[in-house]
């Protein structure tokens, strides 16, 4: 393939694909960070507890083996998720699901921004909006909330990353070249994301067949790619494991399979399977023109066809493995199924720029594509509404219940606390449902927490607090927080909301506390802390340096967390209440890793990053439109025709 020619000069910064890719990255990252900041939790969720048993505990004991890393998790070989989680644990010194979520958001936003950058490089600038808009929508809208709000779901983001790299590097470059070998590596890496990871190689196989259908004389050169992709596909099938209790989730009839496949390919209209016919129309039209064209191949159309083939194959796999009763795809699969929309928009851009030059054909295409776009937009609205109003609040409720239940259990070690709770409210991984049921629902969680060393790397939200012993105390009663909610059995606090009421005043000073092993401390506080006359601080013993614990705004009757940098050496906690009508309460501090603190700060900037990225994108659309209008006027005045297409 020859490198596409650059478009003509002019247009300033708006001519740069990097400008548009940066807007995609910021908008997508900001939207996902905002979701994480509002609804995320650091507490491990369901399957994520297996990380400790399979990876972290053996590693800290010096017993982690390659067999452990490559072992199956349900149907999948999640090598990269395990390595990623272990790396974050070692760098942070602490297990933190929210940190993993933030890392996932960075990976996925960079992946889709990179895809946009490739398409910006290959297409004329006036068609860039057809690339930017769908990628911005699938990054920013919350239909991918289940993966966004579970750090353990990184395997789906690694699947997208390695698959897109495989489609580009292996599918669009000649065998034996350096990019081809890199693509071969990413095809193998995709096998260790989720069970359907081999479908990237299968999509490249199908793309090569399309290419040979267009020009048969290159079959000898393409045979290497075909053989390699066939081998990777067979290896992927061999690596898949059979999970007995997941057989009930599979499609059990042709009718179930067809209905589920239609639902997958109809995305975002997952409840209207026949929409798949209209949804596939742009991609099928592009494939027809590609096969019948005599002009040189173009990387944009081959990448789009490969992307569409991969998405269809993912739909086939999901329909088979999770298509019982013709069910539509679950939320966790939508970060893959959404590419049917992306491939459709890319197809439209290529059809308009390369194949629909005649005025009548162009007008007909614009009408059809407009109807398709309206249908997709309506589906996105309804899908987003469902996620935002029903499923995300429900998951937030379960997160909160799990956190409170786990904290109460850790404070009391009473397994009965976890009895008679709905499964989604239990912070544990059920495992094989055919195994004997435990006497108490919390036995599985207790087993995880009793593994050697686990308590030492738990996230701050459920971590054991540092030992806080009052040395001088007047006015701060043990558990003196009568109005603070929630009230967790067994947890200890000190507060000035005593039997005498909020008018009680006094001071509290702790005995010396050894230096923290983590760079930050987290306090749970309630009441009017932050208002005049009320203060809480950590004081380094050697230097006397004081760091105030200052929540903004005052937490009121709800417990809130507030983080402060830990002193370098031993320290004490000092609290004062000099207010005649105010009160506050606090618990012993818990240690927080540096990356946990940074992830929380970055997540709090999500809204600003989103609007910055959105603003850059809108500037690009407006500025690029003005540039093209000016360029077209100049060409007409000079008597020039339209610019030539960049061929490959």
pLDDT (mean) for 348-355: 91
Supply the CATH number for residue 576's domain. 2.60.120.260
Please report the pLDDT score of residue 648 as a whole number. Answer: 37
Residue 160 lies inside a defined structural domain of this protein: no
pLDDT (mean) for 461-484: 93
Residue 368: band (very low, low, confident or very high) from pLDDT cuts 50, 70, 90: confident
> Where do runs of H (alpha helix) occur along 387-489?
392-412, 443-449
Is-cis flag, bond preceding 553, omega within 30? Answer: yes
Residue 461 lies inside a defined structural domain of this protein: no
User: Structure pTM?
Assistant: 0.92
- How many beta carbons lie within 10 A of that of residue 242, not counting itself? 8
pLDDT in tens, 387-409: 999 999 999 999 999 999 999 99
Please report the pLDDT score of residue 24 as a whole number. Answer: 96
pLDDT in tens, 281-291: 999 999 999 99
pLDDT (mean) for 298-324: 96
Say which residue, 646 or 159, is predicted with more confidence: 159
Residue 473 lies inside a defined structural domain of this protein: yes
Residue 156 pLDDT greater than 60, yes or no: yes
Give 201's Cβ-side CA count (13 Å radius). 30
pLDDT in tens, 172-231: 999 999 999 999 999 999 999 999 999 999 999 999 999 998 887 778 889 999 999 999
Residue 484 pLDDT greater than 60, yes or no: yes
Residue 308 lies inside a defined structural domain of this protein: no
Residue 635: band (very low, low, confident or very high) from pLDDT cuts 50, 70, 90: very low
Sheet holding 571-577, edge to edge: 470-474, 506-510, 571-577, 534-540, 546-548
Please report the pLDDT score of residue 294 as a whole number. Answer: 77
Residue 540: band (very low, low, confident or very high) from pLDDT cuts 50, 70, 90: very high
Residue 477 lies inside a defined structural domain of this protein: yes
Residue 530 lies inside a defined structural domain of this protein: yes
**Domain ranges, residue 535:** 466-588
Residue 636: band (very low, low, confident or very high) from pLDDT cuts 50, 70, 90: very low
Residue 507 lies inside a defined structural domain of this protein: yes
Listed in sequence order, the residues at least 6 apart from 302 whose beta carbon sits closer than 8 Å to its beta carbon are 171, 172, 207, 211, 290
> Where do runs of H (alpha helix) occur along 141-198?
145-148, 154-169, 178-190
Residue 358 pLDDT greater than 90, yes or no: no
pLDDT in tens, 65-75: 999 999 999 89
Residue 496 lies inside a defined structural domain of this protein: yes
Residue 607 pLDDT greater than 80, yes or no: yes
Please report the pLDDT score of residue 643 as a whole number. Answer: 38
Q: What is the mean pLDDT of the chain?
A: 89
Contact 442, 429 (CB under 8 A): no
The answer for 94, left when phi > 0, alpha when psi is -120 to 50, beta otherwise, is beta
Residue 498: band (very low, low, confident or very high) from pLDDT cuts 50, 70, 90: confident
pLDDT (mean) for 582-591: 95
pLDDT above 90 covers a percentage of the chain that reads 72
Residue 502 pLDDT greater than 70, yes or no: no
Please report the pLDDT score of residue 183 as a whole number. Answer: 98
Residue 235 pLDDT greater than 50, yes or no: yes
In whole angstroms, what is the distance from residue 492 CA to residue 374 CA?
A: 57
pLDDT (mean) for 416-427: 81
In whole angstroms, what is the distance from residue 41 CA to residue 629 CA?
A: 49
Residue 587 pLDDT greater than 80, yes or no: yes
Residue 433: band (very low, low, confident or very high) from pLDDT cuts 50, 70, 90: low
pLDDT (mean) for 71-85: 94
In whole angstroms, what is the distance from residue 538 CA to residue 393 CA?
A: 36
Please report the pLDDT score of residue 296 as a whole number. Answer: 80
Residue 638: band (very low, low, confident or very high) from pLDDT cuts 50, 70, 90: very low
Residue 81: band (very low, low, confident or very high) from pLDDT cuts 50, 70, 90: very high
Fill in the DSSP letter of residue 641: -
For the chain, what is the domain count? 1
Please report the pLDDT score of residue 173 as a whole number. Answer: 96
pLDDT in tens, 37-58: 999 999 998 888 889 889 999 9
pLDDT (mean) for 478-483: 89
Fill in the DSSP letter of residue 43: S
Please report the pLDDT score of residue 3 as a whole number. Answer: 46
Contact 51, 73 (CB under 8 A): no
pLDDT in tens, 515-529: 999 999 999 999 999
């Amino acid at each position: 393939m020859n490198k596409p020619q650059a478009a003509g000069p002019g247009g300033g910064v708006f001519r740069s694909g990097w400008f548009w890719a940066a807007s995609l990255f910021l908008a997508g990252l900001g939207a996902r960070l905002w979701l994480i900041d509002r609804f995320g939790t650091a507490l491990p969720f369901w399957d994520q507890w297996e990380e400790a048993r399979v990876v972290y505990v053996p590693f800290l004991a010096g017993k982690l083996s390659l067999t452990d890393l490559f072992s199956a998790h349900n149907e999948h070989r999640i090598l990269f998720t395990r390595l990623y989680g272990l790396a974050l644990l070692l760098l942070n010194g602490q297990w933190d699901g929210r940190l993993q979520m933030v890392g996932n958001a960075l990976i996925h936003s960079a992946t889709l921004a990179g895809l946009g950058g490739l398409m910006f490089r290959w297409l004329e600038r006036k068609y860039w909006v057809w690339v930017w808009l769908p990628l911005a929508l699938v990054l920013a809208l919350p239909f991918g909330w289940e993966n966004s709000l579970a750090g353990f779901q990184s395997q789906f983001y690694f699947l997208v990353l390695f698959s897109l790299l495989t489609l580009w590097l292996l599918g669009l470059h000649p065998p034996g070249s350096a990019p081809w070998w890199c693509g071969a590596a990413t095809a193998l890496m995709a096998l260790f994301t989720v069970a359907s990871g081999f479908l990237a190689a299968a999509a490249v196989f199908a793309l090569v067949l399309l290419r040979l259908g267009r020009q048969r004389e290159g079959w000898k050169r393409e045979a290497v790619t075909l053989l390699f992709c066939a081998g990777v596909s067979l290896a992927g099938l061999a690596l898949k494991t059979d999970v007995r209790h997941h057989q009930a989730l599979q499609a059990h009839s042709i009718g179930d399979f067809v209905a589920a496949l239609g639902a997958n390919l109809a995305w975002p209209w997952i409840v209207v399977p026949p929409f798949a016919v209209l949804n596939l129309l742009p991609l099928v039209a592009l494939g027809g023109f590609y096969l019948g064209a005599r002009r040189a191949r173009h990387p944009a159309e081959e990448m789009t066809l490969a992307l569409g083939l991969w998405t269809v194959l993912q739909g086939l796999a999901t329909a088979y493995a999770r298509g019982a009763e013709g069910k539509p795809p679950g939320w966790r699969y939508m970060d893959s199924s959404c590419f049917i929309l992306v491939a459709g928009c890319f197809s439209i851009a290529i059809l308009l720029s390369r194949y629909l030059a005649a005025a009548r054909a162009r007008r007909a295409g614009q009408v059809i594509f407009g109807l398709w776009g309206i249908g997709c937009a309506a589906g996105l609205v309804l899908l987003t509404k469902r996620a935002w109003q029903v499923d995300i609040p429900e998951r937030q409720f379960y997160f909160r219940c799990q956190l409170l239940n786990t904290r109460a259990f850790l404070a009391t070690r009473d397994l009965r606390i976890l009895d008679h709770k709905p499964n989604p409210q239990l912070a544990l991984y059920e495992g094989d449902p055919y195994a004997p049921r435990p006497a108490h629902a919390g036995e599985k969680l207790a087993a995880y927490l009793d593994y050697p060393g686990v308590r030492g790397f738990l996230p701050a939200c459920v971590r054991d607090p540092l030992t806080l012993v009052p040395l001088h105390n007047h006015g701060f009663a043990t558990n003196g927080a009568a109005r603070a909610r929630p009230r967790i059995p067994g947890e200890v606090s000190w507060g000035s909301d005593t039997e005498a009421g909020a008018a009680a005043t006094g001071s509290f000073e702790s005995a010396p506390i050894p230096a923290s092993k983590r760079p930050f401390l987290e306090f749970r506080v309630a009441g009017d802390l932050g208002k005049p006359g009320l203060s809480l601080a950590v004081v380094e013993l050697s230097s006397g340096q004081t760091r105030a614990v200052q929540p903004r705004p005052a937490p009121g009757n709800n417990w809130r967390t507030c983080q402060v940098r830990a002193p370098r050496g031993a320290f004490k906690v000092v609290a004062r209440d000099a207010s005649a009508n105010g009160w506050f309460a606090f618990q012993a501090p818990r240690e927080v890793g540096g990356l946990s603190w940074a992830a929380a700060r970055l997540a709090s900037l999500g809204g600003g990053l989103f609007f910055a990225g959105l603003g850059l994108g809108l500037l690009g659309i407006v500025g690029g439109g003005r540039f093209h209008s000016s360029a077209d006027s100049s060409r007409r005045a000079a008597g020039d025709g339209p610019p030539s297409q960049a061929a490959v």
